[in-house]
Amino acid sequence: MKRLSVLGSTGSIGSNTLRVAAALRDQFEVAYLTTHRNARLLLQQVREFRPRAVAIFDETVASAHTVEFRKLGVEVYGGFPGLLEISRQQDVDIVVNALVGAIGLQPTLNALRKGRRVALANKETLVLGGKLVMQKASQVGAEIIPIDSEHSALLQCLAGEEANAVRKMVLTASGGPFRERAAGDFQNVTVDEALNHPNWDMGPKITIDSATLMNKGLEVIEAFWLFGLDISAIEVVVHPQSIIHSFVEFEDCSIKAQLGLPDMRVPIQYALTYPERRPAEFPRLDFTQLSELTFEQPDFEKFRCLDLAFQALRAGGAAPAVLNAANEEAVSLFLSRKIKFDQVPALVEDALTNCDYNSCSSVEDLLRYDTCAREHVHRALGTPLG
CA torsion 12-17-19-21 (nearest 10°) is -170
First to last CA, the chain: 42
Of 255 and 285, CB closest to ligand NAP = 285
CA gap 136, 282 in Å, rounded: 35
| Stretch of residues binding ligand NAP (CB under 6 A), selected from 12-20, 111-119, 189-197, 375-383 | 12-20
Q: Which strands, in side-by-side order, build the sheet including 234-238?
A: 234-238, 166-173, 244-250, 255-259
**Least separation in angstroms between CB 354 and ligand NAP:** 26
| Stretch of residues binding ligand NAP (CB under 6 A), selected from 23-31, 172-180, 197-205, 223-231 | 197-205
Among 3, 4, 5, 12, interactor with ligand NAP by CB under 6 A: 12
CA gap 46, 38 in Å, rounded: 12
Of 116 and 245, CB closest to ligand NAP = 245
Q: Are 20 and 272 in contact (CB under 8 A)?
A: yes
Q: Are 153 and 258 in contact (CB under 8 A)?
A: yes
Using CB under 6 A as the binding criterion, the count of chain residues that bind ligand NAP stands at: 29
* Binding track, positions 21-60, relative to ligand NAP; x by CB under 6 A: --------------xxxx------------------x---
Report the residue number whose CB is nearest to ligand NAP. Answer: 11
**Least separation in angstroms between CB 122 and ligand NAP:** 4
Q: Please, what's the b/e burial string for 115-131 (b: 16 or more CB within 10 A of its CB; e: otherwise)?
A: ebbbbbbbbbbbbbbbb
Instruction: Measure Cα distances from 170 to 53, 67, 83, 248, 305 in Å.
Output: 40, 50, 35, 6, 18
* Binding track, positions 92-131, relative to ligand NAP; x by CB under 6 A: ------xxxx-x-----------------xxxx-------
Q: Does 11 bind ligand NAP (CB under 6 A)?
A: yes
* Binding track, positions 251-290, relative to ligand NAP; x by CB under 6 A: -------------x--------------------------
Among 85, 148, 328, 365, interactor with ligand NAP by CB under 6 A: 148
Q: Does 157 bind ligand NAP (CB under 6 A)?
A: no
**Least separation in angstroms between CB 127 and ligand NAP:** 9
Q: Look at strands 94-97 and 144-146 and give their pairing.
A: unpaired
* Rounded (10°) angle between helices 124-140 and 319-335: 140
Of 38 and 66, CB closest to ligand NAP = 38
Q: Are 377 and 326 in contact (CB under 8 A)?
A: yes
Q: Look at strands 144-146 and 166-173 and give their pairing.
A: unpaired
* Binding track, positions 201-230, relative to ligand NAP; x by CB under 6 A: -xx-xx------------------------
Helix (H) or strand (E) holding 31: strand 28-35
Residue ranges in contact with ligand NAP by CB under 6 A: 8-14, 35-38, 57, 83, 98-101, 103, 121-124, 148, 200, 202-203, 205-206, 264
